[in-house]
Amino acid sequence: MNIEEKASKEPMIEFIDVHKWFGEFHVLQGIDLSVDRQERIVICGPSGSGKSTLIRCINRLEGHQRGRIVVDGIELTNNIKNIEKIRAEVGMVFQHFNLFPHLTIVENLSLGPIWVRRIPKKEAEETAMYYLEKVHIAEQARKYPGQLSGGQQQRVAIARSLCMNPKVMLFDEPTSALDPEMIKEVLDVMIELAQEGMTMIVVTHEMGFARSVAHRVLFMDFGKIVEGNTPEEFFKNPQHERTRLFLSQILH
């Protein structure tokens, strides 16, 4: 087996018995999870179940207190250099977009490439324009985030992450803060991304999206992964009582 093959066989992200506490609150209770390259995972579950915390551990926005997390062959520790290396490879899209309001759209996109990847400004702006085209929003490049609608801002946020040419994309409830009519434009962009083979972990309650793009759907409750399965099996044939209850609540 040569090195390249080994690298592609090695999981992109691996959780081994990961625990985390917020004060006394045991938010992650022994997570074991392995995500392959190009795999797309949707995580759902009631609020407070630890699903956001789980994906925020992947780029160390939250630190875990027990167990191991390995991302792209690098174990997450307190080593700040390693953390920065991993963050550069892991894109993240937030519920509230978190664009930088003092910078124009194209400046938002080129900031990371210029300062983290050390790419010349001109080249970084060309890349930025390429990804803005991709999320169908190139005409807004010179505006400021505050001048855009929520759906447009979220598409910009996705493009901003893509500009870093990440190996994984994390989505933390990307459509929860959007008005209903804007959800589709964001999901469409995410579906296009999925079709290109991006490794994605998405926390969402958009079950239609889960059905059409996910390889695996995970259900979390009380800090544990209760069950995980292919979308067909997951929706048709949920194994656990709590999963059934949750699905009945969100699917009506």
Partner 1 sequence: MKQAVPAGELKPPVTHIGIIGWTKTNLFDGVFNSILTLVTLFFLWKVVPPLFRWAFLDSAWHTTGQACREAAGACWSIISINYRFILFGFYPYEEQWRPLLAMLILFGLLFYSRNREHWKKSLAYAWIIGLFTMGLLMTGGILGLPPVESTQWGGLPLTLLLAVFGLTAAYPLGVMLALGRRSRMTGVKVLCVLYIELIRGVPLISLLFMSSIIFPLFLPEGVTFNKILRAQVAIILFTAAYIAEVIRGGLQGMARGQYEAAESMGLNYYQTMRLVILPQALKIVIPPTVSILISAFKDTSLVVIIALFDLLKTTQSVLSNPEWMGFSREAYVFVAILYFLGCFSMSNYSRRLEKELSKGD
- Residues forming the site for partner 1 (CB under 8 A): 59, 61, 80, 84-85, 87-88, 90-92, 94, 96, 98-104, 111-112, 115-116, 144-146, 160-161, 164
Q: What is the number of other CB atoms lying within 10 angstroms of the CB of residue 118?
A: 8
Q: Of 51 and 242, which has the nearer Cβ to partner 1?
A: 51
Residue 174 CB, shortest distance to partner 1, in Å, is 13
What does the alpha-carbon distance between residue 86 and residue 59 come to, in Å, rounded to a whole number?
A: 7
Q: Of 116 and 245, which has the nearer Cβ to partner 1?
A: 116
How open is the CA angle 251-49-93, to the nearest 5 degrees?
A: 80
Residue 58 CB, shortest distance to partner 1, in Å, is 10
Reference 12, options 199, 197, 210; nearest CA is 199
Q: Of 43 and 90, which has the nearer Cβ to partner 1?
A: 90
Beta-strand relationship, 224-229 and 25-35: unpaired
Residue 184 CB, shortest distance to partner 1, in Å, is 24
Q: Of 106 and 226, which has the nearer Cβ to partner 1?
A: 106
Q: What would the two tokens of residue 106 be? A: 């194209």
What does the alpha-carbon distance between residue 236 and residue 243 come to, in Å, rounded to a whole number?
A: 11
